[in-house]
Amino acid sequence: MVLPAVEIPRRRSMALFAILGIALVIGSYLFLALLAASCVYLPYIIFSRAQSEHGWDVLILLFGIVIAATMLWSVIPRREEFAAPGLLLDRSSHPRLFAEIDSIASALSESVPRDVYLIGEANAFVADRGGIVGLGSRRIMGLGLPLLSTMTVSQIRAVLAHEFAHYYGGDTSVGPWVYRTKASFVRVFENVGSVGKLARVAVLGVMYVVVTTLLKWYFVGFLRISNFVSRRQEYRADELACLLAGRRNLIDGLQALHRAAAVWPTYWKQEVRPALSMGSLVALGDGLTRFMAVPHISEAIGRSLETRLREEKTKPYDTHPPLRDRIAAAQKLPEGPALQDSQPATCLLENLRNAEILFAENYVDDIRPGSLTYVPWDEVASRVTIPGWQQFVSEYSEPLRGVTAQSLPNQVPKLREIGSRIRDPKGMLLSPDQRTARAGGLFAAALALAMIRIGWKLQVSPGMFRMSSGNHEFNPFLAVNQLMTNKLSPEAWTARCQELGLSQLVLLPSSPSEHKPEPSPQAELFS
């Protein structure tokens, strides 16, 4: 869609902030040059006017030269290798998304990014990369899949407008210089610190402390000022986003971003990673929205947002203002066109299934392209969960032989030893306690498979796991964990097994043919 033209008010203060940022960069290099010169000149004056019988003046001069050379070497610009932050999106493959980007670029009379990446964070960013001293650089944009999965088109439009406002304000031109200056200071600290071992002599130690103290004071001031400028730039970007995409859409988008950021890491670890280990990719966007809609998760997200809006305060080293302050500032701005499109933002990605597969292959290093099987959430139980249990139980069946549900508490003291024989997941080194927990999971998986064989139903969806039979519900994984942590006594376990009719249920079938659940396991999903 084409955004209507809007009148963008000029803000002289933003030009002043840009000048302040440039002055800060220039001043930083001048400070480092003067400090390096002082490290040589002052010891030289001492050396030329006084001759110490112990040769301290020579040592001070030599140490000053070492520190000065170290600082100057540290501030020499380094060539930065560009690493793609995510999946490179092709314009021809996602015309609707690029149409939105083109529309916002046109409204601000800005050129479009050369590269747009789909990233695995609940975030969005723009930057200039490459070139020499800013010349010949190219514009890039990163757009988080979690945002597209949880926002409407109107909200993601506000996010895109906010990011383009950084182009419009020149933030991406000054920002890299500030970043490089900050990186130079970090190198100075690291390299000067490495020569600190030479300052064991008392008089050299005094010089070293003076130099590092001056560096620290200046760097603290640099961070405070540069981050203050950054926060003002965020307010300005919010203002332009309100004018282009609507105040309400920006505010809703900021809150949606917080919600997605709060749950994405947990969702990926608990719901997506286990399926990937089986060579399957669950529907990422659909799963994330379902995960966030689970009542106890939704309530936790709401409490987190309320706490942040109530308690978050501006800190000197924050690059972004508090969410509460950004919302309050946006509410005072004109509404703007506020064009509404309540469709999920994932509709901007053509062939969402293929896009998510390519994203996962790019996001996870050890996935071989073309090896993933896409699994909708209503098939996860039968195609991922149960086969995963079967594989685990089949590989480590020996400890399960002869164990019934009622006798399972007798195995708890043996779990540490059993866990020591279970190999660690690929790329991980587990602690003894984690291996013990895996052993408990082995018995729980075997019990779950045994329950399915006698007719229990398995229901799996993001953030929800349920096994039921008639009016009875039982979670073997939770129950085994409670046994291991003494939250459930063996007597209570026995009583529960008797109540559910599981007492004599054998965890490991006696014949190989019984290892599998019924040909059509009663596995289903809540919608």
Higher pLDDT, 525 or 111: 111
**Separation between Cα atoms, residue 367 and residue 356, nearest integer Å:** 13
* pLDDT for res 67: 85
Confidence class of residue 287 from pLDDT cuts 50, 70 and 90? very high
Q: Strand, coil or helix: what is 357? A: helix
138-192 per-position pLDDT tens digit: 889 999 999 999 999 999 999 999 998 887 766 555 656 666 777 777 788 778 8
Token code pair at residue 270: 């608990």
What is the number of other CB atoms lying within 10 angstroms of the CB of residue 188? 24
* pLDDT for res 275: 92
CA angle 121–126–130, rounded 5-degree value: 115
Q: Is the pLDDT assigned to residue 244 strictly greater than 80?
A: yes
Q: Is the pLDDT assigned to residue 86 strictly greater than 90?
A: yes
Which ranges constitute the DSSP H helices of 95-201?
95-107, 145-150, 153-168, 171-194
Confidence class of residue 349 from pLDDT cuts 50, 70 and 90? very high
CA atoms within 13 A on the CB side of 343: 11
**Separation between Cα atoms, residue 25 and residue 30, nearest integer Å:** 9
pTM of the full predicted structure? 0.82
Token pair 């919302």 is found at 327
Q: Residues of 442-481 as b/e, b for ≥16 C-beta within 10 angstroms?
A: bbbbbbbbbbbbeebbbbbbbbeeebebeeeebebbebbb
Mean pLDDT, residues 404-420 taken together: 94
- Of 283-297, 476-490, 501-515, least confident by mean pLDDT is 501-515
Q: Is the pLDDT assigned to residue 16 strictly greater than 90?
A: no
Q: How far apart are the first and last CA of the chain?
A: 33
CA angle 366–371–373, rounded 5-degree value: 120
* pLDDT for res 515: 43
Answer yes or no: are the C-beta atoms of 260 and 155 closer than 8 Å. Answer: no
**Separation between Cα atoms, residue 250 and residue 510, nearest integer Å:** 61
Higher pLDDT, 44 or 463: 463
Mean pLDDT, residues 233-239 taken together: 89
**Mean pLDDT: which of 225-234, 274-283, 375-384, 442-451 is highest?**
442-451
Confidence class of residue 513 from pLDDT cuts 50, 70 and 90? very low
Token code pair at residue 6: 């809007």
Best CA proximity match to 480, nearest among 448, 434, 516, 510: 448
Token code pair at residue 430: 């587990």
Element (H, E) at 412: none
Mean pLDDT, residues 48-69 taken together: 72
* pLDDT for res 519: 37
Mean pLDDT, residues 507-525 taken together: 49
Average pLDDT of the chain?
A: 85
Best CA proximity match to 275, nearest among 371, 410, 139, 398: 371
420's CB contacts (< 8 A; 6+ apart) are: 432, 435
Token pair 């659909």 is found at 286
Best CA proximity match to 312, nearest among 268, 255, 359, 353: 255
CA angle 269–275–280, rounded 5-degree value: 140
Higher pLDDT, 365 or 264: 264
